[in-house]
Structure 1
Amino acid sequence: MHKADLHYLLRLGPKIAKQGARSNFCCFPSSREANISSNNISCFHFWAAAGEKSLVWFQLNTGVAQGIRITEILVPDVIVAGGVGDLECRWKEDGDKFYSVKWYQAGHEFYRYTPTAPNQPQIFDTPTLDVDVRGSMGGRVVITNVTLDASGPFQCEVSADSPTFYTDSHSANLSVVDLPDTRPIISGVKRPYLPGDWVDITCTSKRSKPPPELSFSINNQPAQVGWTEPQIDYTDSEGLTDSVLRMRLPLLPKILKEAGYAKVKCSSDIANIYHEESFDVLTTISPFHASVLDGAGRADGSHGFCLGVISTMLAVLAFLNRSHA
């Protein structure tokens, strides 16, 4: 802002009840000062005279600086429900004398620090979060037990003392997420399959906000296009979502490993803050081992069938041990 005497238009309420009452008002550059950009719109404390008022012109000598101003506001992008987060507000006085700093969540003040007042900082109850008093001082606030309803804008407001009573405020958004109750659950797997059988399985994630992105892979390769159906999300009365992903595919020989099985993995992801996986195995027996043999061949066939099943199960157990190691 250029050094000059600038005219501002101050909008007052219909009545100021008491002379000397301190209130917050917003002021706007008048049209006569067209060279002043809109980002100079600001709010400040004003000591008002008594009486009926509607519109008042007044003159403010701004000098070279606009007064106390916020230089940085730090709010986490994401916090897990029930977790902890650090908020920080930084400012420069620019010739003013610092009076107080306040934090608001959804318009509700929950923290105030006024260095000239006793018993600082002051904490105000809010159902969406708690404040760690020991870890909070000045413009830094530690919030705990954060609920889903705390998602949204967090606003910092700093105020100057007399004679300007200037106020500046900035806000930043916080997202609160509720992670799924468990790892994703794979269901519908049958044992054993015959090569060429249709596999019809689902992956389910329980109670989260926002819903995760579910995905399947076979033998560490993403499921082919057409195998999976669109993910379905069911949201309950508490705003938490169960998510289901279905996959159907023919168990073709090219999918099976030499030991006669295929590894299935379901992954559940929420942005960059959550990733969990679950595993299962599609086991098979060959048509020869599955056939019914007659006479003397029955014994040999049964022996071969058992060996085939045993070797497959040993491979499956070895894989599952590696997956959960």
Structure 2
Amino acid sequence: MGLAFPASCFLLSVLPACWAGMDQTSSSFASRGPWVQVQRFLVPRYVALGVNVTLECDYVVQQHATLYSLKWYKGNSQFYQYIPSLPQQHAAFSVRGLDQGQVVEGREGRRLDVLGVTLAASDVYRCELVAEGPPFHTTQRSANMTVVVVPKEPPVISGSREYYQQNDHVSLNCTSPLARPALTLTWNINGHQVLPSSVKTVEHLTNPAGLEKLTTHLSLRVTQDYFQDGVMSIACVGRLADLYLKSAEVIIREPSSRWFTPTNLYHTSGSAEVSSTWTMRVIPGVLLLLLINFLP
């Protein structure tokens, strides 16, 4: 004679096994990890106006899953999609600052070439990947890209004199060419950056096209400590991300003869011809005086 169990007891005896089975299934899915993972993601931080830009979103899909879609967004606006299940797998869309004709697809959406970027192309770019397992799993990566205007000319130093006496006040300006954003300007003496207390920004202008020009001012006294092997180099260096690095330089030299030391005169690189002419006029007179002193 078998024992009879109430129905409620039967349910209670079965449900834990059911829940245990569900936990095992869920745990099995979880142990497989994300259905799709980004292996390489590339959005350049700064790009020059008008160049072609490469965006990359390389991925790997696990064996138990399939890729449902890959989509690219500029800001919150979608401009490209790759959906393998659709008859037309690839599609590009025009959004603000980006025309669909500028987008060239490669490697199933893993790489996009954006042709001839404009300033309006600056934005946050996002790659979104969706895989179906089941269930659906979404992975995304994003980065900011800024389109900049890179100048061709170097900065310009102004205010230099032909000669400096020791303890003279050196007052120089450095003006950047037009760029967007403005260049970062730094002053160096003999390759070493000048203390911030000696430099100040005197002008920062923006023209109607949004291009910026910056002028900074260097102020210091000429001392013997500034000279290395008779030369003092003053440079103004302009930088814009990793796309621009140019400089302007002024060379100040010590006198080459002991006859000039009482006057403590120094000249810049632009005054070599003037200095040579002046020397040729003075030396004959000095030699004449020496001859007179040595004559009986």
TM-score higher than 0.5: yes
Q: Distance in 2 between matches of 1:281 and 1:99?
A: 64
Among 142, 165, 168, which residue is 2:113 paired with? 142
Q: Choose the corresponding residue for 1:64, options 19, 29, 32.
A: 29
Which amino acid counterpart does residue 114 of structure 1 have in structure 2?
Answer: I
Which residue in the other structure is 2:217 paired with?
Answer: 246
**Equivalent residue pairs, number:** 242
Per-residue deviation, residues 223-277 of structure 1 (Å, max 9, x unmatched): 2453222576444555543222210122234435676x63221112234443222
Report the CA distance between 1:104 and its aligned residue. Answer: 0.8
| Deviation of 1:121 (Å) | 2.3
Match of 1:229, SS state, is: strand
Q: What TM-score, normalized by structure 1, do the two folds share?
A: 0.59
Higher Rg: 2
More helix by share: 2
Q: Report the AA paired with residue 193 of structure 1.
A: Y
Mapped partners of 1:308, 1:136: distance in 2: 75
Cα distance between partner residues in 2 of 1:289 and 1:98: 77
Please tell me whether residue 265 in structure 1 is matched to residue 222 in structure 2. Answer: no
Cα displacement string for residues 187-246 of structure 1 (whole angstroms, at most 9, x for unaligned residues) = 222223344332211112233344333111223333245322257644455554322221
Partner of 1:306: 279
Matches within 5 A, 1:112-191: 112-129=81-98, 131-133=102-104, 135=106, 137-160=108-131, 164=134, 166-181=136-151, 182-191=153-162
CA distances 1:55-107 after superposition (whole Å, capped 9, x unpaired)? xxxxx979615774333450234231333223214142563332321111101
> Who is 2:72 aligned against?
103
Q: Decide which of 209, 212, 229 is 2:200's aligned counterpart.
A: 229
Once residues 264 and 203 of structure 2 are traced to their aligned partners in structure 1, the CA distance between those partners, rounded to angstroms, is 39
Given the two structures, how large is their TM-score scaled by the length of structure 2?
A: 0.64
Decide whether the 8 Å contact of 2:157 with 2:249 is kept in 1: yes
For the residues of structure 1 that align with 2:171 and 2:87, how far apart are their CA atoms?
A: 67
**Among 76, 89, 92, which residue is 2:43 paired with?**
76
C-alpha spacing 1:128/1:307, structure 2 compared with 1 (3 Å): farther
For the Cα contact (< 8 Å) 1:101–1:156, is it kept in 2? yes
Structure 1 CA distance for aligned equivalents of residues 241 and 200 of structure 2: 21
Q: Which runs of 5+ in 1 are unaligned?
A: 7-59, 291-301, 311-325
Match status 1:86 vs 2:59: no
- CA deviation map 1:108-157 (0-9, x unaligned): 11111123434542121234346452645333222232334433432222
**Percent identity between the two aligned chains:** 24
Residue of structure 1 in register with 2:288 after alignment: none
CA distance in 1, matches of 2:253, 2:149: 32
Q: 1:215 aligned to 2:180?
A: no
* Higher RCO (C-alpha 8 Å, min separation 6): 2
Q: Find 1:278's aligned residue among 248, 262, 276.
A: 248
Q: Identify if the C-alpha distance between structure 1 residues 164 and 238 changes in structure 2 by more than 3 Å, giving closer, same or farther.
A: farther
RMSD of aligned alpha carbons: 4.0
- Contact 1:185–1:204 (Cα < 8 Å) also in 2: yes
